[in-house]
Amino acid sequence: MTADRRYNEDEVAAIFRSAAEGSPSPAPQSPGDEGLTLPDLQVIGREVGIPPEAVAQAAHALDVRGQGASRTLLGLPIGVERTIVLNRWLTDAEWDLLVVELREVFNARGTVTSHGSLREWRNGNLHALLEPTPTGHRLRLRTRKGDARASIVGGLMMLGVTAAVTVAGAAGGSLGNAVPGIVFLAAAGLGLIANGALRLPNWARLRGRQMEGIAARLTDAAPAVPPSPTVPQD
């Protein structure tokens, strides 16, 4: 987080809600097209009785969380995403350290690729993309629980087959003979759905915590300074 970081209208509202902590929320001035910097927010907060430290902490928390998102299937989190705006440039050494951290946190080696100024670490459905913005780098982290999705979709398809068999049996007058097969198909379909669905909440929470931990370290860290060369003694 830097003094040059500008917050849009939604971010300003979120910062003051967090900083107020139960106090009457201020009605901040519109940030306009360019947004408001942290010093701007602290001035506004001081005018309504919110300490500058509280505003800074709320702004920092917003930066650490980044922009979170979840892809859902049947209301369940099938994918997790985080976007962290760094507002500074990562050095080559910091990118290398980030790759090491990604491999340790997610217990996956992955592969590193570069496309011009874009850098990416990928391991299956797990991606980390470092891309430039006008004010510095932005890191996008995203993942998807592919096996759980396949299990749920397979279960839904099996339930669809169950419904079709039931309708066909009823129309043909042979529903009684088809009941054992219908019960088996329905149980198998529900089992597949449960197998995928029950794992998703804990998986999504774990991935969210892992991504937020990476975001917290990056936003707290000072730019790396390479060691000074050793000067030989005379």
| DSSP type of residue 5 | -
d(CA 145, CA 207): 10
Domain count along the chain:
3
User: Is 214 or 66 the better-scoring residue by pLDDT?
Assistant: 214
d(CA 216, CA 233): 41
Domain boundary among 50, 65, 80: 65
Token couple for 88 = 């500074």
The neighbouring-strand residues paired with 80 are: 70, 143
Cβ atoms of 88 and 137 within 8 Å: the answer is yes
Clarify whether residues 60 and 73 are in a common domain: no
Average pLDDT for 138-161: 93
3-state secondary structure 139-187: EEEEEECHHHHHHHHHHHHHHHHHHHHHHHHHHHCCHHHHHHHHHHHHH
Is the pLDDT at 227 greater than 50, yes or no? no
Instruction: Classify strands 76-85 and 67-73 as parallel, antiparallel or unpaired.
Output: antiparallel
Cβ atoms of 203 and 143 within 8 Å: the answer is no
The pLDDT of residue 21 is: 66
pTM of the model: 0.64
Convert the pLDDT of each residue in 123-148 to its tens digit.
999 999 999 988 889 999 999 998 99
Q: Amino acid identity, residue 8?
A: N
Is the pLDDT at 25 greater than 60, yes or no? no
The pLDDT of residue 59 is: 77
**Where does the pLDDT of residue 40 fall: very low under 50, low under 70, confident under 90, or very high at 90 and above?**
confident
Please give the torsion angle defined by the CA atoms of residues 21, 24, 29 and 31, in that order, rounded to the nearest 10 degrees. Answer: 20
Beta strands in the chain (DSSP E): 6-7, 36-37, 67-73, 76-85, 111-115, 118-123, 126-133, 136-144
The pLDDT of residue 73 is: 81
Clarify whether residues 103 and 204 are in a common domain: yes
The pLDDT of residue 234 is: 38
Clarify whether residues 137 and 187 are in a common domain: no
Is the pLDDT at 49 greater than 70, yes or no? yes
Token couple for 56 = 């800074």
The pLDDT of residue 113 is: 95
Has residue 166 been placed in a domain?
yes
* Structural domain boundaries, residue 134: 67-145+200-220
d(CA 48, CA 98): 40
The pLDDT of residue 231 is: 37
The neighbouring-strand residues paired with 130 are: 119, 139
**Where does the pLDDT of residue 34 fall: very low under 50, low under 70, confident under 90, or very high at 90 and above?**
low
Convert the pLDDT of each residue in 68-123 to its tens digit.
556 788 888 999 999 888 878 999 999 999 999 999 999 999 999 998 889 999 99
Clarify whether residues 172 and 182 are in a common domain: yes
CATH number at residue 79: 3.30.310
Domain boundary among 65, 94, 111: 65
Has residue 75 been placed in a domain?
yes
The pLDDT of residue 197 is: 94
User: Is 60 or 190 the better-scoring residue by pLDDT?
Assistant: 190
Clarify whether residues 43 and 83 are in a common domain: no
Is the pLDDT at 230 greater than 50, yes or no? no
